[in-house]
Structures are given as C-alpha cells and as structure tokens.
Amino acid sequence: MGVRGIARWSNAPSTGVQLISDSVSRQHGARPSGSWQAEIRAIRRHTYVDGVTSVGGERLLWEYTNAGDQVLTIIEDPTAPKRADYMAARAEAMQANAAKQQAGLEVAELPPLPPHFRHTLISYRQASIEALLDQLGGAWNLQQQKPTDLGMMGRPTGGTTHRLRIEGRVWNIGSDWIVRVGGVFAIGEQFKGVIMEIEYLPVDVLPQDDGSSVFLDQFTASLIPSQLPSEANFNSVVIADKEWAHVCGIDIASGSSPADEDIYVYGDEEQTAEDPSHKDDWRRSAYMIVLAFHGEGIA
C-alpha cells in the first residue's frame, strides 16, 4: 500500500506544476503515468430555527473525491471534544479515582462518553454526497440560502458551499515511488498554488511516531526545483500515528475499534485496528490535504 507524504507550495506561480514536473523528470528520470484529479467540497450547515427554537449547531463538512470515485467525508463539530482530549481526561479521572479508592474516599464519576467526537470520517465509493446528506436528516444542502438575524428560518433548504479542484500529473520513479503534482483551483479558476503527494511503495508504516520521515522529507526536497524564489512558501504536512488513530476512533493501547453500529466512524471495516498507519492510507492523505487547505482558509 505504501506510505504517503503531502507537500504544499501555497504561493506557487501558475507555472508551478510545470516547474516541479520538469524537475521530477530531469532529476529522477520519472516517467508520466497519468493524471491526478481530485475535488474538495466544503459545506457549512447554519443554525436554523424551528418555530421559535434554535435547532442544530453550525457544522462543517468536507467531501474529498479522488479520480477512483473514492470519497472521504469529514464532518467537524467544533463543540464536541477531540477523542484524544476525552481519553486523556478519562485516564486522569481513573487515576484520581484509584488514589481515592486506596485512601478510602468516594470516587468521582468518569466523564460521560459524548454522542460523537470532533471529527467524523465516512468513506465510501460513490461520486455523490446527496445520499449521505439525506441520512443526516436533511439539515444539509448544497444550495445557498440567505440567513436571517435569527438563523435559518425553518428547516434549512440551503448551506454554504465552496469547491476546490486538484488538477495535475502522476509520475512513477522506478518501481518504488509515485509522485503526484497538482495545481489547486478554486471557483472561477482562481489558482491557489501547488499540492504534492509522494507515495513510497515498499513500506506501509512511517518510521517516526510524529508521522514524519526524514527519508520521505529528503526525497520530497529533491523533487523541488533548485532555483525557487526566496519567498516560496513550501511546507510538509504530517499527522502523527496517534492523532490519526484518534481521528479513526482507534484505541492503540487496547487495539479496539468502534462498534459496527457506530455511524461516526464508518467505512472499510475490514482493515485491522491494531496499527492505524495500515488503515486506508488514501484516507490519511486526503485528511491531510483537507486540513492543509482548511488551515489556509481556502476550504
């Protein structure tokens, strides 16, 4: 399956894809093997009013679709705790209770399990999100509607949608590396820089706990044109194995995964839970790309 790294050149010129492609071909003898296409849609659900009652908090949803019609949907509830924070608070409470029990004191209740955590991941193979939105109770829609001072009057028939498109090339370097280089385009064909995805096929585990790899970083650096302008903003995007495990709802210590009926982390259940870095690396890559764009304020 391989491991993947993401690199972002946010202020690249419109010729950025060609510059990197030329460098990849010249320095590594890469051969072209196809095109790289992906689409990211960001959908915001507004609070709406049912009669006089405010219903439904604001939510963000991102849909990442690749050329193979693989779809990763990420739903963010900013009011919900991160799973890592909840697990840390629970462990701290259990430790405090153990000390109280030894001292003969009354133990406190553990933090209750929230209905869901900060991020929800849903992966599936279909090109349309409408069926998923229907399952979410009709509170999401892809068409815009103007909000009132009280929020969205009645059950919402609209949300706010933004689109990004990745359009680029795929290169093979020997039998070990796949390099994807793409331009990022917003609505109206606004150019938003370059994104790179570097896949190393011989291994499927990143050697560093923080999700980084000196080997992967050095290879990525070798792909960059030697004469970049001094103001070039070129960054790697990583996610630690532990953080990714929490996002997927996996407890590394116990090796447990969510129950089958847990709709908050769904898709590809046949993957093992013991090692989160083995779990759907395309999803991990898509998640990093979405987070990178969201951090820049363009998704």
Backbone CA torsion sign across 205, 207, 209, 214: negative
The per-residue pLDDT for range 126-154, each reduced to its tens digit, is 656 666 666 665 556 554 433 334 343 33
With beta carbons less than 8 A apart as the criterion, state whether 73 and 61 touch.
yes
The residue extents of the domains of the chain are 3-80+115-295
pLDDT at position 274 is 44
pLDDT digits over 75-120, tens only?
A: 888 888 887 788 888 889 899 989 988 888 888 888 888 888 888 8
Q: Cα separation of 202 and 210, whole Å?
A: 20
Measured CA to CA, the distance from residue 282 to residue 97 in angstroms comes to 41
The partner residues of 195 in beta bridges, in order of sequence, read: 8, 182
Q: Is the pTM of this model over 0.85?
A: no
Is the pLDDT assigned to residue 65 strictly greater than 70? yes
What is the average pLDDT value for the chain, to the nearest integer? 77
Report the run of H or E that residue 27 belongs to, with start and end. Answer: helix 16-28
Question: The tokens of 290 are what?
Answer: 């979405």
Return the structure tokens found at 175: 């039998």
8 Å CB contact between 178 and 201:
yes
Amino acid at 226: S
Q: Does the pLDDT of residue 251 top 70, yes or no?
A: no
pLDDT for the residue numbered 238 = 78
What percent of the residues of the chain are helix, what percent strand, and what percent coil, each to the nearest 5? 25, 30, 45
Distances (CA, A) of 116 to 189, 249, 264: 36, 10, 7
Count, residues in the chain: 299
